[in-house]
Structure 1
Amino acid sequence: RFGSPFDNGYTGERFDTPLLSGLAGLLVSPGKSIFLYAPLTALAVVAWPRFWRERRAEAVLYAAIAAVVLVQNAKWWSWWGGWVWGPRLLVPLLPFAILGLGPLLRSSARARTAAWALAGFGFGVALLGSLVDFNLYLIEIHAQYEAAGRGNADPDIYWRLSTSPIVVEAQRLWEGRDISVVTFHLQRIGFNTAQSTAFLVALALIAVAGVWLLAGTRDEPDIP
């Protein structure tokens, strides 16, 4: 496509972010932490020792993959991944993190309960990113930074809770400042605001009922 197997369209990219700074941004920053956007990964960290004991070869492989992906993207100049919802650069880690949960979930009912809770929180965060056009906020905050002579808003906004996309978009959605993307499309096919709201509430109730039914199934006894 580019005339050379070594020309991938990212010529001249820099990997000059201090490693600890990039790792902190991807792991614990209020705006881009993978533990906020994919909270099951937090349980995966807790589950790793048991995974190591039961599946040592796989545990070493998954840890090596995680280390390579984390270090590479933490060093990239744009560790936050641009104008996207969450730390998109860490998406390749998610399948390995989930697979590593297996031994712990199989052996502990409390771990399964925690997994449901974390999955529910993650679903809410993902739903928030789907319901609103978060680019509107990013355009607005970048314009504010430029008007104040503060330069580029990235990555500063991801380090502060008050400007975290999760916090800001939740507030804006609650205040009705950003129309839901779903509501926008429903209104295009004839739904009014009340009907659109009722439709979304019904979908949410169906989702909650489904989770409740799944969580209410009989758990396997704990395996010591």
Structure 2
Amino acid sequence: MRYETGTPMSPPTPHSPSPNTDAAQARSGARSFLPRLLPRLGWVLGLLAIAALARVMARQLFLDGDTQDLLRCADGVRACLSEGRWSGCTEAGKWPLLQYGPALGVRLAGGSQEDAGRALGSLSLASFFGLLAMTWRTLAVRSRPVAVAAVLVLASGLLFHYATRSFGEMVATFAAAALAAAWLRRKSPWLLALLAFVTGLSKETAFPFIALLGATCVVVHQLPGQPWRELLRAERGRLVGSAAGVLLSGGLTAAFNLFRFGSPVNTSYLVEASWGPPLGVQVEHLAALWVAPNAGLLFYWPFLVLLLAALPLAVARQRRSATVRPSWLPLLGVAALVGMLCVGLSRWWAPFGWWAWGPRLVLPWLPAALLVLLYAYAPAAESLVRPLVATPVRAVLLAVLLAVASVPHLISIYRSNELLNALFVEPGMCPGPDLPERRAQAWLCLRAQAWSHPSPLLHAYRMAPGTDMPKRALLYPALLALGCLWLRRSARAPQSNL
């Protein structure tokens, strides 16, 4: 065997990197660090901008006329209790119980009526931003593009206006949506009981809506082929908890009615219910809630209406193409809830909740309904959202549309009285329908205000250039527009396999 000879190998020696190598490694590290840093920086800047917007909105808190009466009624409760009157306290008024608690708390702590009104307005503002955060957290586990789209839809409509008002609708909206979110995420029965209790205090007619909302959340969790008995066993704790909350809020409301009316029911609202319009006018009111230029959701909240209209079509398309077809039951449950709400309002003598901006009374249950639908049908909703931002041009167009749609709501918090006067005062006030001889004229006047009076939305666009508001208020349309970049970034991720 022959061996090759040569120079023996020496052990390796440590290599000292050159300055050029160090610089290359540093540049490579910077390039890998920047993609991780930029999203965090975007979140920080976004949160700072939202905080600045919240500060702008907090300076525009408005004490509404109904709230002024509620605060007087809260003082009436104090007076009756101090006198030892536990029944027939007519000074306590007719309003739902939810806002009495904070108002009485402020007054008992030594605050003025103005302080109590400011507290109610602050609760509305906190409820608005809480609703947006809760919607994001609930839907992000299903689909991030859908979660971002839902936040943009909720922020682009009527809720922005009511976030600065002392009306109870914004707190009621948050409570109902929180109840739906907790049920969808299968939180503890104790939390469901608390949220059902609070939601039940928001309106004396809330109980059937809570039941229908809960039933719809139950069927969202039904797996293909799962027996009903097994599903109900899994949801038993939440069903019992929410039922307990409803019973407790119903009992407390009945006790409060005994205190002020001497009856377990709200006799004041019963009297007003007798003022309802005839069937033909009810049909007009039902249509006006959606499509009337001055009262319809289509004009005051177009992105919500378009999403609600398009989602059933996307679900039907998914059922044709998917191996596992989604159930229609959640959609039918939400349709029943929204239908019951709108039919009920069409029978009321003031179906839109006026004097107010847009159809106020329909608001509290819509975000909860949207949340349930988007959670149940996240893949179908994602198939609607992704094409909207599939190209930069489409994303920019959507950003412009969102910003433009937000302008009237922004103007409304600065020039509210002027806008409402243009709708309700200048063409003539409607008579109340409390007397039979006034009712025909009242329905004609409501029709004119909803369909033919000059549009307050267009009036808001016209007065926008001269509105005396700080430049910081433009953060609202700017954030909606920038939200489209967030939506595009979320939508460019791999499609959810839900």
| TM above 0.5 | yes
Number of matched pairs: 199
Is the CA contact 1:29–1:158 (under 8 Å) kept in the aligned structure 2? yes
Greater CA radius of gyration, 1 or 2? 2
Instruction: Say yes or no: does 1:97 pair with 2:370.
Output: yes
CA distance in 2, matches of 1:75, 1:82: 15
CA distance in structure 2 between the partners assigned to 1:121 and 1:58 by the alignment: 33
2:382 to 100, 103, 106: 106
Q: CA deviation at 1:112?
A: 6.6
**Which of 293, 308, 317 is residue 30 of structure 1 equivalent to?**
293
1:29 deviation in Å? Answer: 0.5
The whole-number CA distance in structure 1 between the counterparts of 2:332 and 2:423 is: 42
Residue matched to 1:159:
451
Higher helix share: 2
State the Cα distance separating 1:212 from its structure 2 match. Answer: 3.8
- The AA in structure 1 aligned to 2:368 is P
The answer as to whether partners of 1:36 and 1:122 remain within 8 angstroms in 2 is: no
Query: 1 CA distance for matches of 2:419 and 2:409?
Result: 16
1:64-213 paired onto structure 2 within 5 Å: 64-91=336-363, 92-101=365-374, 102-108=378-384, 109-110=386-387, 120=403, 122-130=405-413, 132-146=414-428, 154-160=446-452, 163-174=454-465, 176=466, 179-180=467-468, 183=469, 196-197=470-471, 199-201=472-474, 203-204=475-476, 206-207=478-479, 210-213=482-485
Question: RMSD value over aligned CA atoms?
Answer: 3.3
Is the Cα–Cα contact under 8 Å of residues 289 and 359 in structure 2 kept in the other structure? yes
Task: Give, in whole Å, the separation in 2 of the partners of 1:61 and 1:84.
Answer: 29
TM-score by length of 2: 0.35
Instruction: Tell me the distance in 2 between the aligned counterparts of 1:134 and 1:105.
Output: 35
TM-score between the two structures when normalised by the length of structure 1 = 0.71
Task: Choose the corresponding residue for 2:310, options 46, 49, 54.
Answer: 46
Distance in 1, matches of 2:476 and 2:464, equals 16
The CA deviation at 1:77 is: 2.0
Are residues 77 and 55 of structure 1, via their aligned partners in 2, closer, same or farther at CA, if it must alter by over 3 Å? Answer: same
Q: Distance in 2 between matches of 1:70 and 1:204?
A: 30
CA deviation string 1:152-201 (max 9, x = no partner): 754423213x6121111221233x2xx44xx3xxxxxxxxxxxx33x334
- From the superposition, tell whether residues 126 and 142 of structure 1 become closer, same or farther in structure 2 (CA, over 3 Å): closer
Shift, 1:81, TM fit? 1.5
The question of whether the paired residues in 1 share the 8 Å contact of 2:406 and 2:477 is answered with no
Checking the alignment, whether the CA contact within 8 Å between 1:34 and 1:90 is kept in structure 2 is: no
Which whole-Å deviations, capped at 9, do the CAs of 1:7-26 have from their partners, x for residues lacking one?
16423222215232012211
Range moving further from structure 2, 208-217 or 69-78: 208-217
Q: CA deviation at 1:89?
A: 1.7
> Counterpart of 2:409 in structure 1: which amino acid?
A
What is the CA–CA distance in structure 2 between the aligned matches of 1:27 and 1:99, rounded to whole Å? 20
How has the CA–CA distance of structure 1 residues 82 and 142 changed in structure 2, closer, same or farther, with 3 Å as cutoff? closer
3-state DSSP class of the match of 2:368? helix
Is contact 2:353–2:361 with CA below 8 Å preserved after alignment?
yes
Change (3 A) 1:122 1:206: closer
Hey, what's the Cα distance between the residues in 2 that align with 1:69 and 1:120? 29
> CA–CA distance in 2 between the matches of 1:94 and 1:120?
20
Query: Which 5+ residue runs of structure 1 have no aligned equivalent?
Result: 184-195
Offset of 1:220 from its aligned partner? 3.8
Structure 2 residue ranges without an equivalent (≥5): 1-255, 320-325, 430-440
Q: Equivalent residue for 1:6?
A: 265
Deviation readout 1:25-46 (Å, 9 max, x if unpaired): 1111111111222222222112
Q: Is the 8 A contact 1:80 1:155 kept in 2?
A: no
Kindly, what percent of the aligned residue pairs are identical?
22
Distance in 2 (alpha carbons) for counterparts of 1:86 and 1:167: 13
Report the Cα distance in structure 1 between the residues aligned to 2:301 and 2:424, rounded to whole angstroms.
26
Name the aligned partner's letter for residue 163 of structure 1: P
